[in-house]
Amino acid sequence: MYEFAVTPAVTQIRRRGVEISEVVPGSLGAELELEPGDRIMRVNGRVVRDYLDFRFQSGGETDLVIDVRKGTGEDWELNIERDEAEAFGLSFEQIVPRQCANECIFCFCKGNPETARPSLFVRDEDVRLSFLYGNYTTLTSITEDEMRRVIEQRLTPQYVSVHATDLDVRAYLLGVDKERADISAKMRCLLDAGIEIHAQVVLCPEINDAEILRRTIYDLAELHPRVRSVAIVPLGLTRYLNDARLTAVTPEFCRRTIRDVGEIQKDLRTRLGTTFAFLGDEIYLRAGRTVPSRAHYGDYPQIEDGIGMVRSFANSFDALMRRLRRGLVLEARPSRTLFGTIMTGTLFAAPLERMIDRLNEDFGTRLNVLAIENEYFGGDVSVAGLLSGGDFLAAREKVVGEFAIIPRVTLKSDEPVMLDGMRFEELQQHFGVPLYAFDFKQFAAALETELIHERQALGEAA
């Protein structure tokens, strides 16, 4: 049997049911006169806690009894017959994350400046978000009800921060006692029920590296294929996270880790047919090494955790170059229009510059890569995704050309706001040239449009 935490994760007291936020006009929901603000309370007598419950309890059912509390306070009971594939056309309020009850010594929340966006201080520990978005949980405070739910609703895969299979080390890292740190029975229970797990190790020099890491990887590999992969990402220190128990990750440490884990990967590839334990891109870049080839990453099982992003970007860039070569039949010549600056974090600047140099050489563009220092977080934070509005602002004098680009990932996914709360429009106003926030796809599309447009213009003038 598995034991549950004495202290449950923090759960906000919430109203019952799930609130409808949007109803598609002409949909089944609209026909039933459901409106934004109404709450679905029960489906076929079963309590609904959030939209996952609604989806699970209504999915595949053709005869439904739905209890609704209208925005006016009235209670409705809806008896519905529908075709199996007929959607309700409803959107629901966001899930409010449950929060963790750990005190990890490397917790990223402790590394935030006080002025950071409030959402950066949310210490979520929620199996629903793990299933939906790949957020990691530690399983230290999962309740029995949540375990049942994961299994019953097939919330698979789950993303679990293991950090170390050595209990003393795991407890030390998480700041909890050994009993709570021990999740072996919970993991077994999930795996036996067919729930797959992707694991994570935040690698802290002198704590869970070397032999501890080796054991962790091999212990988890014993559970393959139900444990599908392990992501090993380096500790990130900011100027606010400077706990004396933590040791900074150095290039030499990264090189040693690549060497040691490289041997394990080779062994696991022979035995399991997969690399299984993947090192974060940051480890290769900080070691001054090139990232492994596409084959190393298989189907990129942990790309959201920074595993294989650089390889995937480089491959997409190569494909873009091939498309441009095919599309541009005119001789390459200096561009009259594409003269601008691409800003990124210091970590990715060197590999990006090598790619952009090839583009400039082949197609006559004049694009410059500008490495932006992260003053907002300080420490060894060098990834593009953690740059703030103030960091870009501080570098604006170094921008050359007629436009500038920042990585799209520096903006909130649902709002053009940066980590320090600065709005993108405000940042744009401070630049003397047009400023764009692009992800790779948007960059590629803009480049193709511009180059092909230029080719056509040149063709017409010829």
Least separation in angstroms between residue 390's CB and ligand SF4 is 25
Using CB under 6 A as the binding criterion, the count of chain residues that bind ligand SF4 stands at 10
Alpha carbons 410 and 57: distance in angstroms, whole number = 37
Our CB check for ligand SF4 shows the closer of 125 and 391 to be 125
Least separation in angstroms between residue 202's CB and ligand SF4 is 8
Backbone φ and ψ of 90, nearest 5°: -115, 145
Our CB check for ligand SF4 shows the closer of 160 and 254 to be 160
Our CB check for ligand SF4 shows the closer of 157 and 236 to be 236
Least separation in angstroms between residue 138's CB and ligand SF4 is 5
Q: What angle do CA 122, 128, 132 make, to 5 degrees?
A: 95
Our CB check for ligand SF4 shows the closer of 41 and 241 to be 241
Taking alpha carbons only, the member of 395, 405, 394, 397 closest to residue 365 is 405
Least separation in angstroms between residue 281's CB and ligand SF4 is 20
Give one word for 179, left, alpha or beta, with left for phi > 0 and alpha for psi -120 to 50: alpha
One character per residue 81-100, x = contact with ligand SF4 (rule: CB under 6 A):
-------------------x
**Are the beta carbons of 70 and 126 closer than 8 angstroms?**
no
Asked whether position 444 contacts ligand SF4 by CB under 6 A, the answer is no
Q: Which residues contact 453 (CB under 8 A, 6 or more apart)?
A: none
Our CB check for ligand SF4 shows the closer of 67 and 282 to be 282
Least separation in angstroms between residue 347's CB and ligand SF4 is 21
Least separation in angstroms between residue 6's CB and ligand SF4 is 17
Give the single-character DSSP code of 363. H
Element (H, E) at 210: helix 210-221
Least separation in angstroms between residue 280's CB and ligand SF4 is 16
Least separation in angstroms between residue 236's CB and ligand SF4 is 11
**Are the beta carbons of 344 and 410 closer than 8 angstroms?**
no
**194 SS3 class:** coil
Our CB check for ligand SF4 shows the closer of 129 and 393 to be 129
Our CB check for ligand SF4 shows the closer of 41 and 383 to be 383
For 45-110, where are the alpha helices, taking DSSP H only?
A: 51-58
Region 138-197 residues binding ligand SF4, contact defined as CB under 6 A: 138
Region 100-119 residues binding ligand SF4, contact defined as CB under 6 A: 100, 102-104, 107-109
Place of tokens 């795991």: 170
Taking alpha carbons only, the member of 283, 329, 303, 321 closest to residue 454 is 329
Least separation in angstroms between residue 122's CB and ligand SF4 is 8
Among 39, 42, 123, 149, binds ligand SF4 (CB under 6 A): 123
Alpha carbons 274 and 229: distance in angstroms, whole number = 9
Least separation in angstroms between residue 91's CB and ligand SF4 is 28
Tell how strand 403-407 and strand 339-345 pair up.
Answer: parallel
Q: What angle do CA 409, 94, 129 make, to 5 degrees?
A: 65
Least separation in angstroms between residue 214's CB and ligand SF4 is 23
Alpha carbons 259 and 237: distance in angstroms, whole number = 23
Our CB check for ligand SF4 shows the closer of 125 and 305 to be 125
- Using only C-alpha atoms, the chain has a radius of gyration, in whole angstroms, of 25
Our CB check for ligand SF4 shows the closer of 175 and 298 to be 175
Taking alpha carbons only, the member of 188, 192, 242 closest to residue 377 is 242
Alpha carbons 283 and 353: distance in angstroms, whole number = 19
**Tokens at residue 371, please?**
């490495």
Place of tokens 């060197």: 350
Region 20-79 residues binding ligand SF4, contact defined as CB under 6 A: none
Our CB check for ligand SF4 shows the closer of 104 and 155 to be 104
Our CB check for ligand SF4 shows the closer of 38 and 166 to be 166
One character per residue 386-415, x = contact with ligand SF4 (rule: CB under 6 A):
------------------------------
Alpha carbons 243 and 108: distance in angstroms, whole number = 12
Least separation in angstroms between residue 211's CB and ligand SF4 is 23
Our CB check for ligand SF4 shows the closer of 2 and 108 to be 108
Alpha carbons 375 and 391: distance in angstroms, whole number = 6
Region 258-317 residues binding ligand SF4, contact defined as CB under 6 A: none
Backbone φ and ψ of 113, nearest 5°: -65, 155
Binding site for ligand SF4 (CB under 6 A): 100, 102-104, 107-109, 123, 125, 138
